[in-house]
């Protein structure tokens, strides 16, 4: 009788262990459901800063790529510091916004004249710089090789010129095997990405556990080129919430995929 009782307890514990393992595997399988990176380029710091409440409301953590850091005012640096304190990433967009494809000198000259000085200025302000976005979105392999000695992550740009939905563009989705050099889809007013089109990108990211990379510039209601309306931006945030798509900074990509 005593032996049966012991066997029963062992079987009971074994069942509990199996249930626990099953639940853990299910949890691990569902814990990642894709993600999105919102990035903003250039020096529209005042406009970005005005949207702090909007970012915080939807728990969006963006990456702000700064060009011409030598021209930043004291107030702009302070606002960038506050954005960083909110959980956003401050990153590099070059010293003078030079198109690397049109640069006439050697790649080494480019790095020493356009990249390292920009990193130093931003570092002197107290920012830890981990990511770089190519001005005008274009690059060359030999330049990217050198840039990866300076940054953990590089971002290029893709434009919706094929009159199709953005889920078609493989290069704007970071994957477990390709996340250090990515491209991004522009979502400013002039790119004319409908919310329905935007949602196709989120659904692909969710289905394949990829990260959709996006970029924009000035946040305001001017509806001019290289601006994005805060109303449109909020609607995209709502879609992320609807589909349980988390927001990442560019520098979070490795952690996201390693933890998968």
Q: What are the sequence ranges of the domains in the chain?
A: 35-258
Indicate if the pLDDT at residue 10 is higher than 90. Answer: no
CATH architecture under which domain 35-258 falls:
Alpha-Beta Barrel (3.20)
Q: Which of 221, 253, 4, 2 is nearest to 130 (CA)?
A: 253
Positive or negative: CA dihedral 165, 170, 174, 176: positive
Tens of pLDDT, residue by residue over 218-258, are 999 999 999 999 999 999 999 999 999 999 999 999 999 99
CB of 152 closer than 8 Å to CB of 174: no
Look at 121-135, 158-172, 209-223 and tell me which has the smallest mean pLDDT: 158-172
- What pLDDT does 160 receive? 72
Q: What is the pTM of this model?
A: 0.87
- In sequence order, which residues have a C-beta less than 8 Å from that of residue 176 and are 6 or more positions away? 209, 257, 260
- What pLDDT does 11 receive? 44
Compute the average pLDDT of residues 183-206: 96
CA distance 161 to 156: 16
Is the model more confident about 19 or about 70? Answer: 70
Q: Which of 47, 5, 35, 56 is nearest to 188 (CA)?
A: 47
- What pLDDT does 162 receive? 66
Compute the average pLDDT of residues 103-123: 93
Look at 29-33, 160-164, 218-222 and tell me which has the smallest mean pLDDT: 29-33
CA distance 117 to 19: 57
Q: Which of 86, 69, 187, 177 is nearest to 129 (CA)?
A: 69
């Amino acid at each position: 009788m005593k032996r049966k009782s012991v066997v029963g307890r062992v079987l009971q514990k074994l069942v509990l262990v199996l249930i626990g393992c099953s639940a853990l595997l299910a949890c691990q399988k569902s814990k990642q459901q894709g993600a999105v990176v919102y990035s903003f380029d250039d020096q529209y710091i005042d406009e970005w800063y005005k949207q702090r409440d909007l970012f915080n409301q939807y728990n969006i953590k963006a990456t702000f790529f700064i060009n011409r850091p030598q021209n930043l005012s004291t107030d702009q640096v302070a606002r960038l510091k506050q954005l960083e304190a909110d959980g956003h990433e401050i990153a590099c967009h070059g010293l003078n916004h030079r198109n690397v494809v049109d640069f006439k000198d050697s790649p080494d000259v480019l790095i020493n004249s356009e990249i390292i000085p920009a990193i130093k200025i931003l570092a002197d302000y107290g920012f830890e710089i981990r990511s770089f976005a190519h001005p005008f979105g274009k690059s060359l392999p030999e330049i990217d090789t050198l840039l990866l000695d300076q940054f953990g992550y590089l971002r290029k740009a893709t434009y919706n010129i094929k009159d199709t939905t953005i889920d078609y563009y493989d290069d704007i989705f970071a994957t477990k095997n390709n996340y250090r050099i990515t491209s991004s889809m522009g979502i400013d007013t002039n790119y004319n990405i409908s919310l329905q089109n935007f949602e196709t990108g989120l659904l692909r990211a969710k289905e394949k556990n990829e990260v959709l990379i996006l970029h924009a510039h000035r946040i305001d209601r001017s509806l001019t080129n290289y601006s994005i309306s805060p109303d449109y931006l909020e609607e995209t945030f709502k879609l992320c919430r609807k589909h349980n798509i988390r927001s990442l900074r560019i520098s979070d990509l490795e952690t996201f995929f390693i933890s998968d």
